[in-house]
Chains A and B, each alone.
Chain A
């Protein structure tokens, strides 16, 4: 009877697993995993076969209205260019928004640099400024010179290595932020110049010999016009 058989627990049969030498290939594939893989493969095969069939039976006189403005470049359809989809005012608006965004980023970088410089005074660096000392006579001047040389040979504080690392990391961050600010400001100037050029107003490009300070970018001069 089934109830007596259920009294003695029978050992459950375990599924075969991936052998330990092949563990890096993942779990052992069973029939259900094979079925999933095979179906995906055959589906792809079928699609490719159908597409090849369609290409073989292509009508050379086919016409679609989108063919008027598109072209085939290396076998790929190139849709018409997205360039002049916006009107002048929309373009100007978008350019102001771009400039505004860059300005935002410039200001946030400036604030961050300010915060960093308030706690990163470079205490280790030798001061690069002039230091004038006054002496009564030559003897005192010699004394002062000796004092200076003695100070320079004085030993510096022993700071553990990990703290030095932390400080240098902070200084690097400050450097990077300053460079980033420079790049952003350059970008802002370029964009502002382009925007000015698009506005009305008679302007001309200065020739090489007229430019006062040589720059790689072109320099423009606007005509003097009295504004209202």
Chain B
């Protein structure tokens, strides 16, 4: 039992040392595996997100469960200067909305190693979930609320994922499991806005942020009825920060980022 704990702690420490700043750092690690032959892995704009350049050119995260590719994506091995091998997983923007948003130029996703995330979704797609768990690292937590068995399977391998097999609209039913979170990522059909808002009010800490995948028409239309968070905007509880249209890949959809009960500056 103690050996597992120490092993986990060691892993967490290793992971925290890998954190780089969000500016373009000079330190880049060379790759020496067969899939990305002699390329470069460089940290991208956010902590925990990297870009690999070589024969291929993709965005990736550091693999929390080394040696395992969940949905057939590529794994690349990197030789650090110290001689240790680090493994990264490709994050496909065509399949994951969050990666799409990052490629489309979101200024900040507010997900850092060590933060707690609540992932709301019906029929949860394991791709974004697995990468969120990679990003957050062993110090952080990802609560997944949704009716999906795939997420449950993933939680067996990843120690920082907690699955709640429940509809996201029944916020009371999982209040015993889920604590206060820093970020809420909502991938729900955008007509059920009240689920997102009630989850935000209940579980998001003051000063936390939310990332919502909605239709683009909700952002652009001026009629009050369409904007899902109009009431809360008026109440000054939700402050919208930005919205990125996920254009070439996903027409008509956008990722809206906002803050909850942001402190007055």
Interface presence of B54 (CB below 8 A): yes
Interface presence of A54 (CB below 8 A): no
Complex contact B54–A167 (CB within 8 A): yes
Contact partners of B246 in chain A: CB under 8 A? 129
- B90: nearest residue on chain A (CB-CB)? A119
Contact partners of B242 in chain A: CB under 8 A? 131-134
Contact partners of A129 in chain B: CB under 8 A? 104-105, 244-248
- A126: nearest residue on chain B (CB-CB)? B105
Which of B55-63, B131-139, B155-163, B178-186 lies at the interface with chain A? B55-63
| A133-B241, A134-B242, A157-B42 known; A119 vs B247 contact (CB < 8 Å) | no
Complex contact A120–B248 (CB within 8 A): no
Q: CB-defined interface of A141-164 with B at 8 Å, one 1/0 digit per residue?
A: 000000100000011110110011
Complex contact A117–B24 (CB within 8 A): no
| A129-B248, A131-B105, A157-B28 known; A122 vs B57 contact (CB < 8 Å) | yes
Complex contact A120–B244 (CB within 8 A): no
Interface presence of A127 (CB below 8 A): yes
Query: Mind listing 23 A-B residue pairs with CB under 8 Å?
Result: A118-B74, A119-B56, A120-B58, A121-B57, A121-B99, A121-B103, A122-B57, A123-B51, A123-B58, A123-B103, A129-B105, A129-B247, A129-B248, A131-B104, A132-B244, A133-B242, A136-B239, A157-B28, A159-B53, A163-B39, A166-B54, A166-B55, A167-B56
Chain A positions within 8 Å of B, measured between CB atoms, are: 117-124, 127-134, 136, 147, 154-157, 159-160, 163-164, 166-167, 169-171
Interface presence of B228 (CB below 8 A): no
Complex contact A118–B55 (CB within 8 A): no
Q: How many residues of B contact A (CB 8 A)?
A: 41
Contact partners of B93 in chain A: CB under 8 A? 121
Contact partners of A123 in chain B: CB under 8 A? 44, 51, 53, 57-59, 103
Contact partners of B90 in chain A: CB under 8 A? 118-119
Complex contact B56–A134 (CB within 8 A): no
Whole-angstrom CA separation of A60 from B94 in the bound complex: 77
Complex contact B24–A160 (CB within 8 A): no
Among A117, A127, A163, A171, the residue within 8 A (CB) of B40 is: A163
Among A121, A130, A160, the residue within 8 A (CB) of B92 is: A121
| A133-B241, A134-B242, A167-B53 known; A121 vs B247 contact (CB < 8 Å) | no
Interface presence of B73 (CB below 8 A): yes
Complex contact B104–A134 (CB within 8 A): no
